[in-house]
Amino acid sequence: MEKLIDFLKNSLTAFHAVENAESLLKAEAFEKLSETEDWKLEEGGKYYLVRGGALIAFRVGSLDNFSYKIAASHTDSPALKLKENPLQKSALYATLNMETYGGGIWYSFFDRPLKLAGRVIKQAENKLLEERVTSPFTLTIPSVAIHQNRTANDGFSVNAQVDLAPLLSLASGVENMDALLKNIAGEGVISYDLFLVNADMPYSFGLNDEFLASPRIDNLSSVYASLEGLLNAQEHSGICMAACLDNEEVGSLTAQGADGDFLENVLRRIAYALRFDDNEYYKALANSFLLSVDNAHAVHPNHPEKADPTNKTVLGGGIVIKNHANKAYITDALSSALVKTIFEKAEVKCQTFFNRSDVRSGSTLGAAALRHTGMMGADIGLPQLAMHSAMESCAKSDYAEMKKGITAFYETTFTREEDGISLQ
């Protein structure tokens, strides 16, 4: 649990999450691949590659049953993104012009310690270099006092342009944008992807210390569980993969998102490097499985009426298998049965999630990923509270179940047959 907490604390943006995942994989002797170079892969090999804020890591097992077992998650979370020319100075103060990234609960970002973090691009001679950065200073977005907004507790509508500008300094405290960037990243910044993110520290709570509150539980808990499962899996067949993709919170329609070509290209290049032809590749896809690992809503302690009346997902109840008739989630009867069977054999607790029928469902990256591969799949996740808040909550025991469940998934060999699926 301490490793997860460190990952949540230090992975302020998708770029930081990838950097921290790289450190974990390098310590376990994973070899970094490049999309611009040829790949030499072998049985027993451990590899990873990076594209922007996305990372795909995989292990090559026995190739007697060539197939892919993928746990796909996303590295991004709702935040505020810094525009270009963002400095706003009045006679009194300097603030920053931001735009929203994803669907955050924006009132939860008020009156908190916030950091600017992400990546900057610098020029060194004839090279453009990427650098991860975090501001050495802290910002905040101050609320309007109750004395000046007497209806605040009756409901507060956030205007993204007006209300979400963080207080940077007194008017005399910053000269210009170049000086601000120099303070964050040193000399030579040409461009940037900088986000305003919650810098609160994770903490445990509850009578028995059973809960965890942290920024970015959705979905870095899934990222870290998939990586830990990949490292922990013992003997396994085929290709076991943790696909940590970016931009799910804004629709996945990017080169590093689930609806881009990153995952599909990696699958094809693995087959090519292992000398499997197109026919073998398509046979492998038909025999493969993708777990879309993204969190689910637990029954709220103060608002149980928000949950489905007969499928109540609870903190501490184990991994959630997510279902939706209109395919916001990719689970069907067969894929659900496969996941339940794997978890039962490994003694992993699980439960079922459905949205209320009168509420519009959220979506995950599963459908986007399967659009490019056509393999079987299911949506699973940790039950959590306050999804998309600056501070989210989950049960510690559920993370242990998720790690155990993904490990069991990687260690299971299954074969698609005409009348069903056989498991070993």
Percent of the chain, pLDDT > 70? 100
Least confident of 160-164, 231-235, 261-265, 394-398: 231-235
The stretch 370-390 carries a mean pLDDT of 96
* pLDDT at res. 235: 80
Tokens of 21: 């995942």
Q: Where are the domains of the chain?
A: 2-77+215-423, 79-198
Cα–Cα distance for residue pair 96/192, rounded to 1 Å? 15
Residue-wise pLDDT tens digits, 310-339: 999 999 999 999 999 999 999 999 999 999
The stretch 392-419 carries a mean pLDDT of 95
Just give the CATH number of 2-77+215-423: 3.40.630.10
Q: Is the peptide bond before 287 cis (omega within 30 degrees of 0)?
A: no
Partnered with residue 137 across adjacent β-strands are none
Q: Is the peptide bond before 219 cis (omega within 30 degrees of 0)?
A: yes
* Per-residue H/E/C for 147-159: CCCCCHHHCCCCC
Instruction: Classify residue 276 by burial, with Cβ atoms within 10 Å: 0-12, 13-18, 19+.
Output: middle
Q: Phi, psi (5° rounding) for residue 306? A: -75, -15
Degrees to nearest 5, angle at CA 269 with 265 and 274: 155
Q: Which amino acid is at 99?
A: E
Q: What is the pTM of this model?
A: 0.96
Tokens of 195: 């986000």
Q: Which amino acid is at 110?
A: F
Q: Phi, psi (5° rounding) for residue 294? A: -150, 145
Give the CATH H-level superfamily of domain 79-198: Aminopeptidase i, Domain 2 (2.30.250.10)
Other CB atoms within 10 Å distance of the CB of residue 32: 12
* pLDDT at res. 43: 95
